[in-house]
A and B are shown apart, each in its own frame.
Chain A
């Protein structure tokens, strides 16, 4: 507990904001902040950051008498979800037509239906801006990602096979925009896991402004793969990259196109100068450059001594 004369420490301030101060501690904090310009400024700063940060979890409330309602509500919600969630989770339907695929050189691309409801998770768009010198990337992250890719790869292969068998869902892009009509029906448990993953992603949804710049007003691409970075070299043009080799491009600010990327690996950043020229960096440090809007990619070796 803070002494009455001392300013609030970060922990007390955070507890106050989250409704975790009670009794004397609550009163002492109020009394102090009422007379302290610094702490008032702190409270104001906290309020400003609140608007910018999505809630990761429901705020706790001091109403302890409502505690009994929580498990009851959770049970009721679980029952409702169990009842109404379909066995085949509805996903976005790719709309690449046969004519478009044959007539256009972009035969290896999948056009993504725009859906503002689903906004995938991403790492901070400005993650390229490294932290202080003493903060290298997290240890052995690549190993975890490799394990995860190994776990996901069979599903993707199955998905590709199923997609190849269905004419309407032929695109070969590695996007997480599955072909629902052709994919084998997942078991109920898998469906729930996917639904939970989607909900989780939506909860942690980055804003499109984080990916494509503060002035971006277009909708988000309807993919479930976590997105990690983006850049907008011109108005209505935005490149977004994500995990498992997902590269998305829009040139009209509304319709997103999934591009074929030469490696199924997690992508960490993208820089672009136009709708045709972009450089994508993978989490293991490889660089891929395109000069034709993602139709072809050239691999570049990382500079000697560079850190992945």
Chain B
């Protein structure tokens, strides 16, 4: 990246302020306590309204007070955003570490062959769901990474169109149009694969209608959240 581009995005004021805090400037530290510490705690409350992230905010504040953490801030963002990022990172890592040792029921990968109550009355339903799951999973994999990211932000992470668009550097109206296009693409890919498995159009339509009415264990959110192998060719 050219040096002028980096300088253009440099938050010099915040960097100087962080350096002053790290250097023990008392006025700077007082401003930090009055202005930035509340941000840290509000962000913690937003992540976990039950107060479960407050200890992480405490820990970060402690590290900032010892000045050890400030050296990782280089002014590439505002200090407030960086604090939120540090907190979010620690929160998500702790959440994931906890889930690894203690899997939650909703994290279990649904077994496509497992039948729900409704499936027991319709043996073909479990088969159709399994086929749809495979087809949808492959269709999601075939998407461009940018389209997949847009889907994941909007449907899996529940970001708004504006937030999703901001991350992708596009207007929310564009984001909305792109989401609609991606949904069409997904449907097209899924139908193609189901046809390749020997299903006729009528069966595909009926399956889609049945799934739309009751998706059962089929969840796009889980498909979007699963780790895909990185395709370097893109």
Within 8 A of B (CB), among A7-59: 9-20, 22-26, 30-38, 40-53, 56-57
Q: Please tell me if B195 contacts chain A, counting CB pairs below 8 Å.
A: no
Q: Please tell me if A139 contacts chain B, counting CB pairs below 8 Å.
A: yes
- Distance in angstroms from B121 CB to nearest chain A CB is 35
Contact check: which of A33, A121, A134 meets B34 at CB < 8 Å?
A121
Contact A206 B149 (CB under 8 A): no
The contact string, 1 if C-beta is below 8 Å from chain A, for chain B 107-132, is 00000000000000000000000000
Contact B61 A17 (CB under 8 A): no
Q: Please tell me if B80 contacts chain A, counting CB pairs below 8 Å.
A: yes
What count of chain A residues pass the 8 Å CB interface test? 72
Contact B157 A44 (CB under 8 A): yes
Known A44-B159, A144-B30; contact A35-B227, beta-carbon cutoff 8 A: yes
Contact B62 A131 (CB under 8 A): yes
Contact B230 A32 (CB under 8 A): yes
Contact B234 A132 (CB under 8 A): no
A123 to chain B: which residues have CB within 8 Å?
33-34, 37-38
- Distance in angstroms from B16 CB to nearest chain A CB is 14
Q: Please tell me if B208 contacts chain A, counting CB pairs below 8 Å.
A: no
B42 to chain A: which residues have CB within 8 Å?
49, 52-53, 124, 210
Considering only CB atoms, which chain A residue lies closest to B81 in the complex?
A14
Contact check: which of A13, A22, A35, A57 meets B5 at CB < 8 Å?
A22
Contact A17 B81 (CB under 8 A): yes
A4 to chain B: which residues have CB within 8 Å?
230, 232
Contact A138 B29 (CB under 8 A): yes
The contact string, 1 if C-beta is below 8 Å from chain A, for chain B 23-48, is 01011011011110111011101110
B95 to chain A: which residues have CB within 8 Å?
41
The contact string, 1 if C-beta is below 8 Å from chain B, for chain A 159-192, is 0000000000000000000000000000000000
Contact A49 B88 (CB under 8 A): yes
Contact B37 A124 (CB under 8 A): yes
Contact A129 B77 (CB under 8 A): no
What count of chain B residues pass the 8 Å CB interface test? 77
Considering only CB atoms, which chain B residue lies closest to A12 in the complex?
B76
Q: Please tell me if B213 contacts chain A, counting CB pairs below 8 Å.
A: no
Contact A53 B145 (CB under 8 A): no
C-alpha gap A9/B26 in the complex (Å): 29
Contact check: which of A15, A33, A45, A124 meets B149 at CB < 8 Å?
A33
C-alpha gap A53/B85 in the complex (Å): 12
Contact B46 A62 (CB under 8 A): no
Q: Please tell me if B212 contacts chain A, counting CB pairs below 8 Å.
A: no
Contact A43 B26 (CB under 8 A): no
Contact B84 A53 (CB under 8 A): yes
Known A11-B76, A15-B77; contact A30-B168, beta-carbon cutoff 8 A: yes
Number of A-B contacts (CB under 8 A): 217
Contact B47 A48 (CB under 8 A): yes
A16 to chain B: which residues have CB within 8 Å?
167
Contact B146 A51 (CB under 8 A): no
Considering only CB atoms, which chain A residue lies closest to B157 in the complex?
A44
Contact A52 B45 (CB under 8 A): yes
Contact check: which of A34, A48, A50, A52 meets B145 at CB < 8 Å?
A34
Contact A35 B230 (CB under 8 A): yes
- Distance in angstroms from B20 CB to nearest chain A CB is 12
Contact B38 A49 (CB under 8 A): no
Beyond A38-B92, A42-B85, 18 additional pairs, beta carbon < 8 A: A11-B82, A14-B82, A17-B84, A22-B9, A30-B145, A38-B96, A41-B225, A43-B157, A44-B157, A47-B157, A57-B78, A123-B33, A123-B37, A124-B38, A131-B59, A134-B66, A138-B29, A141-B29
When A and B form their complex, which 7 residue pairs have the shortest distance between CB atoms, in order from nearest?
Answer: A44-B157, A132-B62, A52-B46, A14-B77, A34-B145, A45-B88, A34-B149
Provide 18 A-B residue pairs closer than 8 Å at the C-beta atoms, listed in order of the A residue: A10-B72, A10-B86, A13-B89, A31-B234, A35-B145, A40-B152, A41-B96, A44-B153, A44-B156, A44-B159, A53-B46, A127-B37, A129-B54, A135-B62, A138-B30, A141-B29, A141-B33, A204-B34
Q: A residues within 8 Å of B by Cβ?
A: 1, 4-5, 9-20, 22-26, 30-38, 40-53, 56-57, 60, 62, 64, 121-124, 126-127, 129-136, 138-141, 143-144, 204, 206, 210, 226
Q: B residues within 8 Å of A by Cβ?
A: 1, 5, 8-9, 11, 24, 26-27, 29-30, 32-35, 37-39, 41-43, 45-47, 54, 57-59, 61-62, 65-66, 72-74, 76-78, 80-82, 84-89, 91-93, 95-96, 145-146, 148-149, 152-153, 156-160, 163, 166-169, 224-232, 234
